[in-house]
Amino acid sequence: MSDLRDRQLARLTRPGSRPALVVVDVQRDFADPAALDDYRLTNAALTALDRAVTRVGDLVDAARLADVQVIWVELGTDPALPWRASNWLRGGDYDAPVSPAEPCVIGTPGAQWYRMRPAEGEPRVVKRGYSGFLGTDLDARLHAAGVDWLTVAGLTSECCVHATAQDAMQLDWPVVVPQDATAAYDLDVNAAALVQLGLNAAVLSDADEVVELWKKVPR
């Protein structure tokens, strides 16, 4: 372990430190293979996705045992509020209505959490775009809970995990991203996303090390 990484992790486990786990978009439209036919994932990518979802679930279980705050960030697409820039970027029509194929439409099965779910009392933050901080009260909730640093996990590494982790860092939150608890729909894209996260937004780790960090925090 490098001297820099030693210092980074020591800061996270000092007395009084309060971590939180931010779970991003592990929803059916993003995580359930039955909803992903149009993405044409390879078997290797499906295996990696399944493994990442399992590791996110492991982190949720461990966080609850360690009294670490779990915060659920989920996409909620509102048909009455089209994301026009997204329409333009993906289809060229800025003024198009919300497509029936749009992911995670509020109230549909695709918006439900997949293989995990919030427990009673765990905060849920509904976002409209990529970042869990954009247009939400996530930052205020974290401050109100006395949180000091974040583990950001979920889907997908190059999109909503990246955007949430980067905004967290820019809002002054130390961020850890467990590499085995995130994934993309292409292995090369995931690898590139992790490089970018490590360069600009987060300390890269894995789920087991994160749990050990939580255990080291004096209570």
pLDDT(92) > 80: yes
Is pTM, for the whole model, over 0.75?
Answer: yes
Give the pLDDT confidence score for residue 1 in this predicted structure.
63
Question: What was the pLDDT predicted at 104?
Answer: 97
Of all residues in the chain, what percent carry a pLDDT higher than 90?
A: 94
Residue among 139, 173, 179, 137 nearest 158 (CA): 179
Beta-carbon contacts of 94 under 8 Å, excluding residues fewer than 6 positions away, are 84, 85, 87, 88
Q: Per-residue pLDDT tens for 44-78?
A: 999 999 999 999 999 999 999 999 999 999 999 99
Q: Is the pLDDT of residue 113 over 80?
A: yes
> Alpha-carbon distance 207 to 16, whole Å?
22
Tell the residue number behind the tokens 């497509």, with chain if given: 99
What percentage of residues in the chain have a pLDDT greater than 70?
100
E-strand spans in 84-168?
124-127, 149-155
Preceding amide of 13 cis, omega within 30: no
Question: Is there a contact between 191 and 158 (Cβ–Cβ < 8 Å)?
Answer: no
Of 23-27, 76-80, 87-91, 200-204, the poorest mean pLDDT is in 87-91
Q: For 126-142, write each residue's pLDDT tens digit.
A: 999 999 999 999 999 99
Q: Which distant-in-sequence residues (6+ apart) come within 8 Å of 28 by Cβ? A: 35, 109, 110, 111, 112, 113, 114
Q: Sketch the domain layout of the chain as residue ranges.
A: 18-216
128 burial class (0-12, 13-18, 19+ CB within 10 angstroms)? middle
The CATH homologous superfamily to which domain 18-216 belongs is Isochorismatase-like (3.40.50.850)
